[in-house]
Structure 1
Amino acid sequence: MAKNGNATSLVGEDILVIPTAASFYLGGGVTEFPLGPNETERLRVLQASGLMDALAVAGLDVLCEEAARHFSVKTAIVTLLDKDVQVFKAKFGIEANSTPRRMAFCNFTILSDQVFIVGDALADQRFASNPLVTGPPFIRFYAGAPLIFRQEVRLGALCLLHPKPRTFSLGDRAELHEMADRVTDFVSDAWYAIDHHQ
């Protein structure tokens, strides 16, 4: 891992650690990303699920590759968002296994049940200075569908990344939502298995 000033860049290792400029005033304090009104409960459910520490879920990497090829994007990732870190539970087209949560586009995706789209990150003031945009993997396009689990809690996302701007039709959004539902089914089965082995 190579260091440059106050930034740490990733080269085929586990985590990208670079500060971002964006900040949000939420819940009586300043954070570097938006938080939903049920964030405390969302984190409680995530920790209780055991999914953060669980082994990789069979089939998810294949689904990520399917999504990337279907939508003609470079990268597809299944993410879970903990308090301070975004973990990649499955991926295609990227070597990192996590990022600091403050850098995660998926922070916006988990705010609603809808697909979240960034057609050109450099033209969006929320993301233009994000190190994942200005540096590797040079995200320009992002599309994310929330992973909605028990109690209607959004624990993460199935997201698509691409280094060039692009559009995403209503049909594309519906298809990504359908793929996210498949991810949720995979992960829910793993969650059930965890519950019954404790």
Structure 2
Amino acid sequence: MQAPGIIGNEAERIASLHSLNILDSAAEERFDRLTRLAHRLLKVPVSLISLVDSERLWFKSSQGLEVSEISREMSFCRHALIDQKPFIVTDARQDSRFANNPLVTGPCGIIFYAGIPLRGSDGRTLGSFAVIDRQPRFLSRDALDTLEDLAAIAERELRLSFLETTDPYTGLCNRKGFKLLAP
């Protein structure tokens, strides 16, 4: 496995992610609806909204995956954060960065990955909207446009989540924020 470079201003990026008050929160229909749409429209077995924390990749929403988080070290999404643009791997078995990754060689069997970076209101990249397949594939321009549109909606919802759960004067969690974090 080849690790990507360091994400610029990582401490600020992590602080921005944590300010959303969304990590480890309960599932929300507004995010699940988007991953279901990606799953159906792009005909992929796995679709995710992932947030890259300091040591892990946490899934705010996922279709076709049974886990809620994985090690950041193994994730494909961290590469999308570095590149700051759509990150596509058509066949991970043929890509030296991923060929020996346990997510590729193990039971997950990830072969194809396409991820669009998700940014917070401060412009920092927080995670990605991604689709995964267990076979090689290419994304048409139309399919990439669809994925980018869904990612833009997810990004807007992440920003709204912050506004809805944070007191504008103190920057602290409001009542809705507390309820979201401790259902």
SS in 1 for 2:13: helix
For 1:54 and 1:97, locate their aligned partners in 2 and report how far apart those are by CA, in whole Å: 11
**RMSD of the alignment, in Å?**
1.5
Q: Does the 8 Å contact 1:35/1:107 carry over to 2?
A: no
* TM-score normalized with structure 1 length: 0.80
> In structure 1, what is the equivalent of residue 150 of structure 2?
179
- The alignment of Structure 1 onto Structure 2 pairs a total of residues equal to 169
Amino acid at match of 1:174: D
1:85 matches 2:85: no
1:170 matches 2:141: yes
1:127 matches 2:98: yes
In terms of fraction of residues, the more helix-rich structure is 2
Q: How far apart are 1:168 and its partner, in Å?
A: 1.2
Cα deviation 1:75-104 (Å, max 9, x = unaligned): 001000000000011010111100010011
Cα deviation 1:124-183 (Å, max 9, x = unaligned): 000000000001210000000011111111100010010000011233222211110111
> In structure 2, what is the equivalent of residue 112 of structure 1?
83
In terms of fraction of residues, the more strand-rich structure is 1
Identity of aligned residues (%): 31
Q: Which sections of structure 1, spanning at least 5 residues, go unmatched?
A: 1-21, 25-32
Amino acid at match of 2:141: L
* TM-score normalized with structure 2 length: 0.86
- The structure, 1 or 2, with the larger RCO (C-alpha pairs under 8 Å, 6+ apart) is 2
> In structure 2, what is the equivalent of residue 139 of structure 1?
110
